[in-house]
Amino acid sequence: MSHPALNLTHDPQATSWLDSANGSDFPIQNLPYGRFRPKASAEAFRCGLAVGDQVLDIAHLATQSNWLQAPGVDTALATRAAQAAAHDLRDLMRMGCAAWHALRVALFLALRSDASPAVQHEVSSALQALSQVELGTAVQVGEYTDFYTSYYHARNVGIAVGRGSDVAPNFFWMPIAYHGRASSLGVSPAFHRPMGQAMTPGQTQPMYGPCQRLDYELEMAIYVGQDNAWGSPVSMDQAESHIFGLGLLNDWSARDIQFWEMAPLGPFQGKNFATSLSPWIVTMEALAPFRLPFARDTAHPQPLAYLDGEDLRGHGGIDVNLSVSLQSAQMRSQGREAQEISRTNFKHQHWCVSQMVVQHTVGGCNLHAGDVLGTGTISGPTPEEAGAIIELAQAGKNPITLETGETRAFLSDGDAVVLRGACERAGAVRIGFGECRGEVLPSIQA
């Protein structure tokens, strides 16, 4: 699997000459990629990196040369990598791990506090305040697949809807997934409540109308970085080199529409109306200090050989703290911030990111750079670690109460849901994922 190793870019003592980077979600040990353009402009989105409260314009920086001259930088490879990213982030992705690393080292050294005045001047000319730009989807997404990899989520939903705690047998043997719509995936902050069919309990005929059981799903996005040829599966030894990085993802779900249509096929209109992404891709190399051993509960079957490996066992997990906050329209009108309603960790997933990539390709499916794989809802072992409101509110039987006194069995119009993520541990610099935000607008009657 060959996960990225620790190197100079993970130095916890390193600080930046850009003061806002130090102690922020985006220190120089992070350097996540995204796309931006000036606010209120019609310009095309271009590639940048988040550094403190600034975005670094890769296209502008690629025209400069001083920042590439530091000792230890593979100048030729870093130059080609910057030029590729300036054109299209997918071009950088397809260059592979060596190019990703070369550009990361060059950027890290150029932003480190001991960079020369000439380098600082050159890099400063490529910085723009995040407050002055519009952020787009981090990369042009070609295909989207959503997995189902949390044992706790699967168990909790079964209990909430009255099916019991049993989980389908195939869940324990392979990462299950369905193909979603890339066309309705993005960072846009608001969407309309979907219309559709649903069958009310006790009725003999479905009703058509606005979704009554709108939910969020706390997930992470896996960004594919390398193509694999059609008919050529990716092995566990190769999987990590095919993953560029991770972001946050909200797989909005119309539960009443979803449960009616999923007989016998999978999600369709219950899922295809909106999927929200955070604007930044945190690279796998940035996550190296936060890797964990992969450990399967001994009460559950161990993975088959094609989904197992020594490196997986030692480093397959990733320690990411995650939270969900909700802000109602009333809270917004009163100037209240979003209220945290759950907190969990990515380490609880039953399947790891490398196993999802392998399972996706094992039949010969060809993934492309820029494709997104959703991890499925991320829930933990305790009730407060639920990654969806259907779990928290027990399918509406036990509504949650907000600080305003409002209650929620499912989401209401005007609700904004905010996902956040960060990695923290002793001896490492905290790195953040930013936030993934979305607001529910009233339905548009067809």
Which residues carry out catalysis? Answer: 153
Taking the CA atoms of residue 37, residue 42, residue 44 and residue 47 in that order, the dihedral angle to the nearest 10 degrees is: 0
Q: Distance of alpha carbon 325 from its chain centroid, rounded?
A: 16
Residues whose CB falls within 8 Å of the CB of residue 124, separated by 6 or more in sequence, listed in order: none
Residue 362 half-sphere exposure, CB side, CA atoms within 13 Å? 15
Q: How many CB atoms lie within 10 A of CB 171?
A: 18
Bridge partners of 441, per DSSP, are 192
The residue written with tokens 């009657």 in the block is 445
Q: Distance of alpha carbon 371 from its chain centroid, rounded?
A: 12
Which tokens is 111 given? 């932003």
Nearest to 29 by CA among 283, 318, 311, 292: 283
Nearest to 339 by CA among 353, 354, 323: 323
Q: Rounded to an integer, what distance in angstroms lies between the CA atom of residue 223 and that of residue 372?
A: 5
Bridge partners of 51, per DSSP, are 54
Q: Rounded to an integer, what distance in angstroms lies between the CA atom of residue 260 and that of residue 114?
A: 60
With H, G, I as helix, E, B as strand and everything else as coil, classify residue 63.
coil
Bridge partners of 42, per DSSP, are none
Q: Rounded to an integer, what distance in angstroms lies between the CA atom of residue 282 and that of residue 48?
A: 12
Residues whose CB falls within 8 Å of the CB of residue 231, separated by 6 or more in sequence, listed in order: 364, 366
